[in-house]
């Protein structure tokens, strides 16, 4: 398995969406943004991805300005281009056009010395789906607690 160091996760990804497929994408970043990301000052909680003019972009990904960056710092919430092959973009366009599908950033990580973003193709969950997932997790937690108590 390749060396992955996770930088940031999107806690709402699996809660609000049922992820059908994932894809790995590179991101176009500037030097001060990389330094800030290495310091862990990035947030993808409210971010989303979309395809515009045949290119994929991520919106609302907050990269805090690098403290020693001066004039080289960029806007923290600027739109960042994602690096994908044409065939991958065409595949995403086909899946997004289905009703209710969207591109959801799942996690941001280092792969070697490059920053990669894991995108998920997900359908939005309804409220009752979220309740069912919470109930399942609650039951699993209670079972594991009961097993731990019995094993002691």
Mean pLDDT, rounded, for 20-35: 86
Give CA–CA dist 2/111, Å, rounded.
Answer: 7
Of 47, 42, 69, 66, nearest to 57 by C-alpha is 47
Give CA–CA dist 27/5, Å, rounded.
Answer: 16
pTM for this one? 0.75
Domains, the chain, with CATH or none: 4-125 (2.40.280.10)
DSSP string across 9-34: E-TTHHHHEEEEEEEEEEE---HHHH
pLDDT digits (tens, 9 = 90+) for 52-75: 888 999 998 888 888 887 777 777
pLDDT digits (tens, 9 = 90+) for 129-152: 778 888 888 888 888 888 888 776
pLDDT digits (tens, 9 = 90+) for 81-105: 999 999 888 888 888 887 778 888 9
């Amino acid at each position: 398995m390749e060396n992955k160091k996770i930088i940031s996760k999107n806690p709402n990804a699996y809660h609000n969406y049922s992820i059908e497929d994932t894809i790995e994408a590179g991101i176009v970043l500037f030097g001060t943004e990389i330094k800030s990301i290495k310091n862990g000052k990035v947030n993808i909680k409210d971010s989303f991805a979309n395809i515009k003019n045949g290119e994929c972009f991520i919106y609302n990904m907050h990269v805090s300005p690098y403290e020693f960056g001066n004039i080289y710092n960029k806007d923290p919430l600027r739109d960042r281009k994602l690096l994908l092959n044409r065939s991958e973009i065409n595949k995403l366009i086909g899946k997004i056009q289905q009703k209710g599908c969207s591109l959801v950033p799942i996690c941001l990580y280092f792969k070697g010395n490059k920053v990669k973003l894991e995108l998920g193709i997900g359908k939005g969950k309804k409220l009752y789906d979220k309740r069912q997932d919470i109930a399942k997790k609650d039951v699993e937690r209670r079972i594991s607690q009961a097993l731990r108590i019995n094993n002691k």
